[in-house]
Structure formats: structure tokens, C-alpha cells
């Protein structure tokens, strides 16, 4: 995995088209898509940020980014990192990347990326671990119905949003995160 | 994790019990509004020992429950509070189940939750009417300390009881 020499290309694909995705039974208002390509190693990182409006603790729109990591030559993500309300969740060796795996945690409010992976690691939280396990249990107890939804927009969510700082941090250091995921 | 998990979960359990007992007073027509100050005192203490992300989850719960301060508890409001308690209570109960699991055990536990027979097995054990369950699942539950085997009789451990509570109403 080369670091430093690789030329990173930021592609903003500018498409605005309806996408099909299931996030519990809720609809995301928008999906921001930001793709980073390492030309030399051909590793792709795709950040998809789902925007929800709710009146939760931050009393503002909520952005939930999921980082999808693609191995060389593959069009299926192998790992993912999500945040939402659980801290960093590392989804290692994804078994499924179907959006049906998303679980609505609080109907109309909070949403939880619960992706099927061989291994999950939650950084920083005892309660978060319980909340994630509850989301998994709920997901398997509930029939998830796909929802047709939202617009794809290019770029990242506004910088004023708290979560953006974490997105930026991972984007700036994505190669480190990629290596870390490979080792887990 | 370096912070005090036990204290965090105990404070949250205490907060949930406070609200539950207040709801019972409403049921008994002793009061028309909820007195949330004792519960909020517990959540304040919980936040002091929580990690930043856990703190966000506690704040989220506080935000939900604070909407009922000084509000007359109609049947509809009671239902809303019960729903919040059920959701957050389930998360706290799950945290009690997994708090001492290693990362490997936690992952095995998540896989156990995906198995369709897990829920039936645990609820049937709680109701003391055990259903036939595969050896693989029983073995996994034994290793995760969800059940134990006392004189040939399989029963739920404390962890198992917390899990049964959650799985009954996910």
C-alpha cells in the first residue's frame, strides 16, 4: 500500500438522480456522495452521507456518513466505517452491502447503519455496544421494506455540521484507516 | 474501556426505574405529571462517567424524556413515555449483557442474535417451557454465559434474563 506518492483524485460526479435504497422504513432526504480514488493502488473510498431531519439532541438536521472501502479491482465494498450515534463502528469483511441492512433505530429520527460483516468493532462506548446489539436484534425481528428515495448530490455535508469534522479526519487519513481495517 | 461502565449502567438503570415508578403513580391517579428531577439527576451522574459517544446517547434520551416535564400525562403521553423507556431500557439491558464481553465474544453474540431460533429459545426458557434448540446455539449461549446448566437443567443466567427482557419486545 503506497502512501504519499499516490495521486489522489477527488471526483465529484455531480449526478442528481433518484436512487433506490432502504433505510428502515424511512426516507433519507438527500445522499451526498464523495469519492476518493488512489490512482496508483486503485483503492476507492466512497463516502455516502445520508441526511435526515429530526429534532434530536443536536436539534438540527442529522448527517450520517458511511465510508465504503473497495479493494483493488472490485466493485463491491469490503469494509465500511460508520458513525451515527455509536462512535466509530468498523465493519470488517462485509458480507452484505445491501441498504436493507440499515435499521431505523428511532422511527422518524435516528438511523443506524447495521451492516452485515464478519466482524464489528465499536470504538469508545459500553452503552453504544448495547445500543448497536439492540439495533441488530430489532433488525432481525422486523421486516424491512425498501424505500425509494432521495437525491444524490456531490460533495460533502456542510462544514457546520459536527459530524463533518470526523468525516474530514477520516478522509485526510483514509489510507491509515484502510490499513487498520486490513489488519483487524 | 477505561471509564466506569458499571456506574454508567447503574445510574441509567436507576433513572429508568425512577421514571417507571413515576408512571405507576400516574396510573394510581396520585399525580397528573411526571417528576423527572430524580431521574435526570441520575442521568447527569451517568454523563459524568460516560465516553463522549455514550454521553450523546444519554443526552438523546434526556432530550426525549424532557419533553414531558410539566406535561399532563394523558393516555397518549403515557404510551409515548413507555415507548421511550422500552427503547432506551432495551439498549441499557443489552449493554448490561455485553459489557464484559471481549471483542470476539461481542461478535459471536451479534451472530447469535441473527439466528432465528435464538429469540424463541430464550423466551421459552424464561417462561420455563424450553423448546428444542440446536446443540450449536446452546453451546454458543453457554459460552456467552447466557444460560447455564445446573444439574442437567438449562436455565437463564442474569445476562440471559436481561436478554429475554429485550427480545420479548424488540
Can you give chain A as a three-state secondary structure string?
A: CCCCCCCEEEECCCCCCEEEECECCECCCEEEEEEEEECCCCEEEEEEEEEECCCCCCCCCEEEEEEEEECCCCCCEEEEEECCCCCCEEEEEECCCCHHHEEECCCCCCEECCCCEEEEEECCCHHHHHHHHHHHHHHHHCCCCCEEEEEEEECCCCCCCHHHHHHHHHHHCHHHHHHHHHHC
- State the pLDDT at residue A173: 85
**Do the Cβ atoms of B99 and A131 come within 8 Å?**
no
* Domain contains A89: yes
* Domain contains A10: no
Domain boundaries, position A137: 21-183
The whole-angstrom separation of Cα A60 and Cα A53 is: 7
- State the pLDDT at residue B11: 95
Looking at the complex, report in whole angstroms how far the Cα of residue B26 sits from the nearest Cα belonging to chain A.
Answer: 25
Q: How many domains does chain A have?
A: 1
Helix, strand or coil, per DSSP, at residue B170: coil
In this structure, is the dihedral angle defined by the CA atoms of residues A79, A33, A28 and A20, taken in order, positive or negative?
negative
Q: Does A110 touch chain B (CB under 8 A)?
A: yes
* Domain contains A101: yes
Q: In A, which residues are within 8 Å of B99 by CB distance?
A: 126, 129-130
Q: Does A138 touch chain B (CB under 8 A)?
A: yes
Spatial neighbors of A62 by CB under 8 A, at least 6 apart, are: A51, A52, A53, A54, A56, A110
Higher pLDDT, residue A141 or B121: B121
Interface of B with A (CB under 8 A): 1, 3, 5, 8-9, 12, 50-54, 56-60, 62-63, 87, 90-99, 101, 103, 106-107, 109-110, 113-114, 116, 119, 166-167, 170
* Residue in A with minimal Cα distance to B5: A126
Helix, strand or coil, per DSSP, at residue B115: coil
The whole-angstrom separation of Cα A181 and Cα A93 is: 9
Q: Does A166 touch chain B (CB under 8 A)?
A: no
* Domain contains A87: yes
Q: In which band, very low, low, confident or very high, does the pLDDT at A178 lie, cut at 50, 70 and 90?
A: confident
User: According to the per-residue pLDDT averaged within each range, which of A21-30, A116-125, B138-147 is highest?
Assistant: B138-147
- State the pLDDT at residue B5: 84
Given a cut of 70, whether residue B32 has pLDDT beyond it is: yes
Helix, strand or coil, per DSSP, at residue B78: helix
* Domain contains A4: no
Q: Which of A87, A158, A88 is nearest to A79 (CA)?
A: A88
Spatial neighbors of A61 by CB under 8 A, at least 6 apart, are: A29, A51, A52, A53, A54, A161
Q: Which of A52, A122, A113, A63 is nearest to A87 (CA)?
A: A122
B73-81, Cβ contacts within 8 angstroms, sequence gap of 24 or more: B73/B23, B73/B26, B73/B32, B73/B33, B73/B34, B78/B23, B78/B26, B78/B27, B81/B19, B81/B23, B81/B34
Least confident piece of the model among A96-105, A132-141, B105-114: A96-105
Q: Which of A76, A31, A48, A56 is nearest to A170 (CA)?
A: A48
* Domain contains A85: yes
Q: Does A137 touch chain B (CB under 8 A)?
A: yes
* Domain contains A11: no
Burial label for B167, CB within 10 Å (0-12, 13-18, 19+), is: buried
Looking at the complex, report in whole angstroms how far the Cα of residue B133 sits from the nearest Cα belonging to chain A.
Answer: 18
Q: Are B54 and A126 in contact (CB under 8 A)?
A: yes
Least confident piece of the model among A52-61, A65-74, A97-106, B133-142: A52-61
- For B59, the closest of A57, A134, A141 (CB atoms) is A57
The whole-angstrom separation of Cα B118 and Cα A87 is: 27
Query: Residue A105: how many CB atoms within 10 A of its CB?
Result: 23
Given a cut of 90, whether residue B148 has pLDDT beyond it is: yes
Percentage of residues of chain A with pLDDT beyond 90: 7
* Domain contains A146: yes
* Residue in B with minimal Cα distance to A119: B107
Q: Are A144 and A114 in contact (CB under 8 A)?
A: no
Least confident piece of the model among A94-98, B24-28, B66-70, B71-75: A94-98
Q: In B, which residues are within 8 Å of A120 by CB distance?
A: 106-107, 110
Amino acid at each position: 500500500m503506497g502512501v504519499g506518492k499516490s495521486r489522489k483524485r477527488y471526483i465529484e460526479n455531480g449526478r442528481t438522480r433518484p436512487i433506490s435504497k432502504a433505510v428502515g422504513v424511512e426516507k433519507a432526504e438527500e445522499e451526498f456522495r464523495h469519492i476518493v480514488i488512489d490512482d496508483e493502488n486503485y483503492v476507492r473510498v466512497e463516502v455516502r452521507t445520508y441526511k435526515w431531519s429530526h429534532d434530536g439532541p443536536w436539534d438540527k438536521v442529522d448527517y450520517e456518513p458511511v465510508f465504503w472501502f473497495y479493494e483493488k479491482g472490485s466493485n463491491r465494498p469490503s469494509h465500511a466505517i460508520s458513525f451515527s450515534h455509536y462512535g466509530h463502528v468498523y465493519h470488517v469483511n462485509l458480507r452484505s452491502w445491501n441498504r436493507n441492512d440499515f435499521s431505523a433505530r428511532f422511527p422518524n429520527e435516528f438511523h443506524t447503519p447495521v451492516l452485515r460483516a464478519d466482524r464489528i468493532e465499536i470504538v469508545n462506548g459500553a452503552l453504544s455496544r448495547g445500543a448497536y446489539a439492540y439495533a441488530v436484534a430489532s433488525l432481525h425481528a422486523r421486516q424491512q421494506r425498501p424505500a425509494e428515495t432521495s437525491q444524490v448530490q456531490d460533495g460533502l455535508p456542510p462544514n457546520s455540521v459536527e459530524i463533518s469534522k470526523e468525516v474530514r479526519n477520516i478522509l485526510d487519513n483514509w489510507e491509515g484507516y484502510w490499513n487498520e481495517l486490513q489488519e483487524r | 474501556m477505561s471509564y466506569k461502565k458499571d456506574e454508567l449502567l447503574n445510574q441509567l438503570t436507576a433513572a429508568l426505574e425512577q421514571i417507571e415508578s413515576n408512571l405507576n403513580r400516574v396510573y394510581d391517579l396520585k399525580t397528573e405529571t411526571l417528576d423527572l428531577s430524580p431521574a435526570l439527576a441520575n442521568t447527569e451522574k451517568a454523563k459524568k462517567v460516560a465516553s463522549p459517544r455514550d454521553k450523546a446517547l444519554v443526552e438523546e434520551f434526556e432530550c426525549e424524556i424532557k419533553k414531558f416535564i410539566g406535561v399532563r400525562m394523558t393516555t397518549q403521553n403515557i404510551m409515548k413515555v413507555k415507548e421511550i423507556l422500552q427503547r432506551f431500557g432495551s439498549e441499557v439491558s443489552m449493554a448490561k449483557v455485553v459489557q464484559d464481553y471481549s471483542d470476539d465474544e461481542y461478535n459471536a453474540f451479534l451472530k447469535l442474535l441473527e439466528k432465528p431460533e435464538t429469540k424463541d429459545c430464550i423466551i421459552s426458557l424464561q417462561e420455563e417451557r424450553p423448546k428444542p434448540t440446536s446443540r450449536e446455539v446452546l453451546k454458543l449461549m453457554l459460552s456467552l454465559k447466557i444460560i447455564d446448566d445446573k444439574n442437567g437443567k438449562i436455565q437463564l443466567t442474569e445476562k440471559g434474563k436481561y436478554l429475554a427482557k429485550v427480545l420479548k419486545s424488540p
